[in-house]
Amino acid sequence: MSIYDKLGNKHLDFLREIGNVGAGNAATALSMMVDKKVEINVPSVKTIPISKVPFMLPDPEELVAGIKMDVKGDAELETLLIFDASGAKSLLKVLLMGAEIKDLTQIDEMATSALKEVGNIICGSYITALANFTGLYLDPLPPEVSIDMISAIIAEVSLEIAYTEDRIIFIETILNIQDIKITGYIFMIPKGESLEKIFKSMGLM
């Protein structure tokens, strides 16, 4: 039986609480970074089949910006933050003080660095909250940026678990930067027995 078959509302509520705490901390850090008011909301947390991930975006074949962060330590997982093309361009316009990005495949080192920092803040805040709640030692590695179709990015990050699991955790994330609304898609891909270890640490298994 898959670990995902054992999950109920209490497990998703726990992950949502982690998301809310992480979002609050990330909003504060991003607000300082861009010198604007930032709010981050986590409307929903759920588990979804890996095969369904591309269809969560308006255009499954559109290029997206993906920021991946590996996590080592007591539990091993990958976190993946995805912005669709319009969201990534809107975000970069804010981060680069009004610079227009026409083609995501042509972004320069400064834009790539800005996306990495956003991933570092958002994914890092989530992992820090998870570590604080569970007491587990979690060590996030530097983020990596990919510009590709979401199916290709998801295939790469889920390769290690594909033989044993067909689902991953999805954390819907909405950024409001003053009057700009940007939807982000966070996916958490635990490896091995890491997800069970996380819930056991909280007495939920």
Tell me the per-residue pLDDT of 150-163, one tens digit each, with 9 for 90 and over.
Answer: 989 988 888 777 66
Residues 6+ apart with CB under 8 A from 141: 69, 70, 71, 72
pLDDT at 166: 85
pLDDT at 59: 82
pLDDT at 17: 93
For residue 205, how many C-alpha atoms fall within 13 Å in the half-sphere facing its CB? 19
DSSP 96: T
Which residues in the chain come in under a pLDDT of 70?
162-163
Residue entry with tokens 């994914």: 123
pLDDT at 3: 86
pLDDT at 188: 93
pLDDT at 158: 80
Domain 3-201 architecture: 3-Layer(aba) Sandwich (3.40)
Give just the sign of the alpha carbon dihedral 27, 99, 117, 53: positive
